Amino acid sequence: MKILPSFFCLLLCLSASPSWADDGKPTNDFLGLQSDPNPFSSQHILEFWGYHDYQGSGDYSNTLRLRYYQPAALDSWRGTLRLDTAYVANYGPSEINQSSRSYSAGNTMLTVWGNHPGFLENWGGTLGGRIIFPFGNNGQWTLGPQVGQVFQSVEGSHALLNDFSPLMRYLYGFAASGTPLSNQPPPLRRLGLYPTLGFNITPNTQIRLWDENGVYYNTAGGGWFVPIDAMVTHRFNKDFLIAIGASKQVVQTYQEYNWSVYGKLSFNF
Protein backbone atom coordinates (compact mmCIF):
# COMPACT_ATOMS: atom_id res chain seq x y z
CA MET A 1 0.00 0.00 0.00
CA LYS A 2 3.00 2.33 0.22
CA ILE A 3 2.82 2.66 -3.56
CA LEU A 4 -0.39 4.74 -3.31
CA PRO A 5 1.15 8.07 -2.22
CA SER A 6 4.00 7.60 -4.69
CA PHE A 7 1.53 6.96 -7.50
CA PHE A 8 -0.57 9.97 -6.53
CA CYS A 9 2.51 12.21 -6.35
CA LEU A 10 3.49 10.93 -9.80
CA LEU A 11 0.09 11.99 -11.14
CA LEU A 12 0.58 15.47 -9.70
CA CYS A 13 4.07 15.70 -11.18
CA LEU A 14 2.80 14.61 -14.59
CA SER A 15 0.00 17.15 -14.40
CA ALA A 16 2.50 19.85 -13.50
CA SER A 17 4.64 19.10 -16.57
CA PRO A 18 3.11 20.84 -19.62
CA SER A 19 2.85 19.07 -22.93
CA TRP A 20 3.74 20.96 -26.10
CA ALA A 21 1.59 21.97 -29.04
CA ASP A 22 2.78 22.06 -32.66
CA ASP A 23 3.63 25.75 -32.34
CA GLY A 24 5.99 25.01 -29.45
CA LYS A 25 3.75 26.50 -26.76
CA PRO A 26 2.89 24.60 -23.57
CA THR A 27 -0.67 23.24 -23.54
CA ASN A 28 -0.79 21.72 -20.03
CA ASP A 29 -3.07 18.90 -21.20
CA PHE A 30 -3.46 15.66 -19.23
CA LEU A 31 -5.41 12.49 -20.09
CA GLY A 32 -7.02 14.34 -22.99
CA LEU A 33 -8.26 17.08 -20.66
CA GLN A 34 -7.15 20.69 -20.50
CA SER A 35 -5.89 22.33 -17.33
CA ASP A 36 -8.36 24.93 -16.11
CA PRO A 37 -6.31 28.13 -15.65
CA ASN A 38 -9.00 29.68 -13.44
CA PRO A 39 -10.83 26.95 -11.46
CA PHE A 40 -12.55 29.47 -9.20
CA SER A 41 -16.19 30.43 -9.25
CA SER A 42 -17.03 34.13 -9.18
CA GLN A 43 -20.23 33.24 -7.33
CA HIS A 44 -20.82 32.70 -3.64
CA ILE A 45 -21.94 29.15 -2.84
CA LEU A 46 -23.89 28.04 0.25
CA GLU A 47 -24.33 24.32 0.87
CA PHE A 48 -26.31 22.29 3.41
CA TRP A 49 -24.94 18.78 3.96
CA GLY A 50 -26.25 15.78 5.86
CA TYR A 51 -24.28 12.59 6.66
CA HIS A 52 -25.27 9.28 8.23
CA ASP A 53 -22.20 7.17 9.08
CA TYR A 54 -21.90 3.67 10.49
CA GLN A 55 -18.75 3.34 12.61
CA GLY A 56 -19.03 -0.38 13.30
CA SER A 57 -20.00 -2.32 16.46
CA GLY A 58 -23.49 -0.78 16.35
CA ASP A 59 -22.27 2.83 16.62
CA TYR A 60 -23.60 5.55 14.30
CA SER A 61 -22.97 9.23 13.66
CA ASN A 62 -25.29 11.87 12.19
CA THR A 63 -23.80 15.14 10.98
CA LEU A 64 -25.38 18.38 9.78
CA ARG A 65 -22.86 20.61 8.01
CA LEU A 66 -23.00 24.16 6.70
CA ARG A 67 -20.42 24.97 3.99
CA TYR A 68 -19.78 28.35 2.39
CA TYR A 69 -17.50 29.29 -0.54
CA GLN A 70 -16.30 32.88 -0.88
CA PRO A 71 -14.39 34.12 -3.97
CA ALA A 72 -11.15 35.86 -2.99
CA ALA A 73 -8.65 38.12 -4.74
CA LEU A 74 -5.51 39.94 -3.67
CA ASP A 75 -3.71 41.88 -6.40
CA SER A 76 -3.21 39.24 -9.16
CA TRP A 77 -3.80 36.30 -6.80
CA ARG A 78 -7.13 34.54 -7.27
CA GLY A 79 -8.58 31.96 -4.96
CA THR A 80 -11.41 30.66 -2.81
CA LEU A 81 -12.16 30.71 0.92
CA ARG A 82 -14.25 27.83 2.26
CA LEU A 83 -15.78 27.79 5.74
CA ASP A 84 -17.29 24.62 7.25
CA THR A 85 -19.09 24.19 10.54
CA ALA A 86 -21.15 21.28 11.80
CA TYR A 87 -23.30 19.68 14.46
CA VAL A 88 -22.74 15.98 15.21
CA ALA A 89 -24.71 13.32 17.07
CA ASN A 90 -22.99 10.05 17.98
CA TYR A 91 -25.04 7.16 19.32
CA GLY A 92 -24.70 3.46 19.92
CA PRO A 93 -23.54 0.97 22.56
CA SER A 94 -20.18 2.70 23.13
CA GLU A 95 -21.70 6.19 23.47
CA ILE A 96 -22.85 7.56 26.83
CA ASN A 97 -25.55 9.63 25.13
CA GLN A 98 -27.26 7.26 22.73
CA SER A 99 -29.90 9.71 21.52
CA SER A 100 -29.63 10.49 17.81
CA ARG A 101 -31.53 13.73 18.45
CA SER A 102 -28.88 15.25 20.74
CA TYR A 103 -26.38 17.22 18.66
CA SER A 104 -23.13 18.82 19.80
CA ALA A 105 -20.60 21.05 18.06
CA GLY A 106 -18.64 19.42 15.25
CA ASN A 107 -15.53 20.53 13.41
CA THR A 108 -15.25 24.14 12.27
CA MET A 109 -12.59 24.65 9.63
CA LEU A 110 -11.32 27.21 7.17
CA THR A 111 -9.75 26.19 3.84
CA VAL A 112 -7.99 28.59 1.46
CA TRP A 113 -6.57 27.80 -1.98
CA GLY A 114 -5.56 29.77 -5.04
CA ASN A 115 -2.84 30.65 -7.51
CA HIS A 116 -0.88 33.61 -8.86
CA PRO A 117 -0.13 34.00 -12.59
CA GLY A 118 3.48 34.86 -11.82
CA PHE A 119 4.13 31.65 -9.84
CA LEU A 120 4.73 28.49 -11.89
CA GLU A 121 2.72 30.06 -14.70
CA ASN A 122 2.91 26.93 -16.90
CA TRP A 123 1.52 24.74 -14.14
CA GLY A 124 -2.03 26.01 -13.56
CA GLY A 125 -2.48 24.25 -10.21
CA THR A 126 -3.42 25.65 -6.81
CA LEU A 127 -1.71 25.86 -3.44
CA GLY A 128 -3.48 26.36 -0.15
CA GLY A 129 -4.09 25.08 3.34
CA ARG A 130 -6.66 24.16 5.97
CA ILE A 131 -7.04 24.96 9.66
CA ILE A 132 -9.45 23.10 11.96
CA PHE A 133 -10.29 25.06 15.10
CA PRO A 134 -10.20 23.42 18.56
CA PHE A 135 -13.88 23.92 19.44
CA GLY A 136 -15.77 20.79 18.42
CA ASN A 137 -12.42 19.13 17.66
CA ASN A 138 -11.59 17.55 21.05
CA GLY A 139 -9.55 20.60 22.04
CA GLN A 140 -7.11 20.15 19.17
CA TRP A 141 -5.82 22.56 16.57
CA THR A 142 -5.22 20.97 13.19
CA LEU A 143 -3.59 22.59 10.17
CA GLY A 144 -1.72 21.70 7.02
CA PRO A 145 -1.02 22.47 3.35
CA GLN A 146 -2.71 21.25 0.21
CA VAL A 147 -1.93 21.15 -3.52
CA GLY A 148 -4.30 20.42 -6.38
CA GLN A 149 -5.19 20.94 -10.00
CA VAL A 150 -8.32 20.84 -12.16
CA PHE A 151 -8.42 19.36 -15.67
CA GLN A 152 -11.61 19.91 -17.69
CA SER A 153 -12.88 18.38 -20.91
CA VAL A 154 -12.79 20.66 -23.94
CA GLU A 155 -15.94 22.78 -24.05
CA GLY A 156 -18.44 21.38 -26.54
CA SER A 157 -16.68 17.99 -26.79
CA HIS A 158 -19.54 16.05 -25.08
CA ALA A 159 -16.93 13.74 -23.54
CA LEU A 160 -17.93 11.17 -20.94
CA LEU A 161 -15.10 12.27 -18.62
CA ASN A 162 -15.87 15.80 -17.46
CA ASP A 163 -12.90 16.45 -15.18
CA PHE A 164 -9.97 15.04 -13.26
CA SER A 165 -9.29 17.09 -10.12
CA PRO A 166 -6.51 15.56 -8.00
CA LEU A 167 -5.94 17.03 -4.54
CA MET A 168 -3.42 16.15 -1.83
CA ARG A 169 -3.70 17.55 1.71
CA TYR A 170 -1.71 16.90 4.88
CA LEU A 171 -3.16 17.65 8.33
CA TYR A 172 -1.15 17.95 11.54
CA GLY A 173 -2.97 18.12 14.87
CA PHE A 174 -1.76 19.35 18.25
CA ALA A 175 -3.38 20.11 21.60
CA ALA A 176 -4.59 23.60 22.41
CA SER A 177 -2.65 25.39 25.13
CA GLY A 178 -3.78 24.45 28.63
CA THR A 179 -5.74 21.35 27.56
CA PRO A 180 -4.78 18.25 29.61
CA LEU A 181 -3.24 15.64 27.34
CA SER A 182 -4.91 12.89 29.37
CA ASN A 183 -8.28 14.09 28.06
CA GLN A 184 -7.12 14.12 24.43
CA PRO A 185 -7.42 11.49 21.73
CA PRO A 186 -4.24 10.96 19.69
CA PRO A 187 -3.50 14.06 17.57
CA LEU A 188 -4.61 13.86 13.97
CA ARG A 189 -1.65 13.28 11.61
CA ARG A 190 -3.09 12.36 8.24
CA LEU A 191 -2.33 12.51 4.53
CA GLY A 192 -5.44 12.82 2.37
CA LEU A 193 -5.50 11.90 -1.34
CA TYR A 194 -8.49 12.84 -3.52
CA PRO A 195 -8.20 11.44 -7.08
CA THR A 196 -11.50 13.10 -8.02
CA LEU A 197 -13.11 12.08 -11.31
CA GLY A 198 -16.30 13.55 -12.77
CA PHE A 199 -18.35 11.71 -15.44
CA ASN A 200 -21.20 13.23 -17.43
CA ILE A 201 -24.45 11.24 -17.38
CA THR A 202 -26.60 14.01 -18.91
CA PRO A 203 -25.75 17.69 -19.55
CA ASN A 204 -26.95 18.52 -16.01
CA THR A 205 -26.17 15.27 -14.17
CA GLN A 206 -22.79 13.89 -13.10
CA ILE A 207 -21.38 11.04 -11.08
CA ARG A 208 -18.32 12.10 -9.10
CA LEU A 209 -15.83 9.67 -7.56
CA TRP A 210 -13.73 10.49 -4.46
CA ASP A 211 -15.01 14.05 -4.39
CA GLU A 212 -16.31 14.28 -0.81
CA ASN A 213 -14.35 11.38 0.75
CA GLY A 214 -10.79 10.49 -0.17
CA VAL A 215 -8.04 8.02 0.66
CA TYR A 216 -6.29 8.62 4.02
CA TYR A 217 -2.97 7.50 5.44
CA ASN A 218 -2.25 7.82 9.16
CA THR A 219 1.29 9.21 9.30
CA ALA A 220 1.43 9.00 13.11
CA GLY A 221 0.95 5.27 13.61
CA GLY A 222 0.52 3.89 10.11
CA GLY A 223 -2.59 2.47 8.51
CA TRP A 224 -4.72 3.16 5.44
CA PHE A 225 -8.35 4.05 4.91
CA VAL A 226 -9.40 3.45 1.29
CA PRO A 227 -13.09 3.87 0.38
CA ILE A 228 -15.18 3.56 -2.74
CA ASP A 229 -16.91 6.96 -2.80
CA ALA A 230 -19.48 8.07 -5.39
CA MET A 231 -21.79 11.08 -5.52
CA VAL A 232 -24.50 11.85 -8.09
CA THR A 233 -25.13 15.55 -8.68
CA HIS A 234 -27.95 17.18 -10.63
CA ARG A 235 -28.16 20.88 -11.46
CA PHE A 236 -31.71 22.14 -11.86
CA ASN A 237 -30.56 25.61 -12.94
CA LYS A 238 -27.54 27.89 -12.59
CA ASP A 239 -28.46 28.64 -8.97
CA PHE A 240 -29.48 25.27 -7.51
CA LEU A 241 -27.88 21.81 -7.35
CA ILE A 242 -28.64 18.68 -5.33
CA ALA A 243 -26.44 15.65 -4.68
CA ILE A 244 -26.65 12.26 -2.99
CA GLY A 245 -23.70 10.00 -2.33
CA ALA A 246 -22.39 6.94 -0.54
CA SER A 247 -19.02 5.72 0.62
CA LYS A 248 -17.89 2.24 1.70
CA GLN A 249 -14.49 1.31 3.09
CA VAL A 250 -12.59 -1.42 1.26
CA VAL A 251 -9.30 -1.08 3.18
CA GLN A 252 -9.40 0.06 6.81
CA THR A 253 -6.19 -0.43 8.76
CA TYR A 254 -6.81 3.15 9.92
CA GLN A 255 -10.24 3.70 11.50
CA GLU A 256 -12.63 6.18 9.87
CA TYR A 257 -16.07 4.66 9.24
CA ASN A 258 -17.55 1.47 7.84
CA TRP A 259 -20.01 3.10 5.45
CA SER A 260 -21.55 6.52 4.91
CA VAL A 261 -24.52 7.97 3.04
CA TYR A 262 -24.81 11.71 2.51
CA GLY A 263 -26.45 14.46 0.49
CA LYS A 264 -26.37 18.20 -0.08
CA LEU A 265 -28.38 21.18 -1.28
CA SER A 266 -26.21 23.79 -3.03
CA PHE A 267 -27.20 27.39 -3.79
CA ASN A 268 -25.21 29.79 -6.01
CA PHE A 269 -25.71 33.54 -5.69
Q: Which residues, 6+ apart, have CB-to-CB distance to 191 below 8 Å? A: 5, 168, 169, 170, 216, 217, 219
Report residue 156's pLDDT band, with 50, 70 and 90 as the boundaries. low
**Could you tell me the pTM of the whole model?**
0.86
Q: Which residues, 6+ apart, have CB-to-CB distance to 144 below 8 Å? A: 129, 130, 169, 170, 171, 172
Question: What are the tens digits of pLDDT across the range 104-125?
Answer: 888 999 999 999 887 766 777 8
pLDDT of res. 102: 73
Question: What are the tens digits of pLDDT across the range 3-54?
Answer: 455 545 544 554 444 444 444 444 455 566 888 767 788 899 999 999 999 9
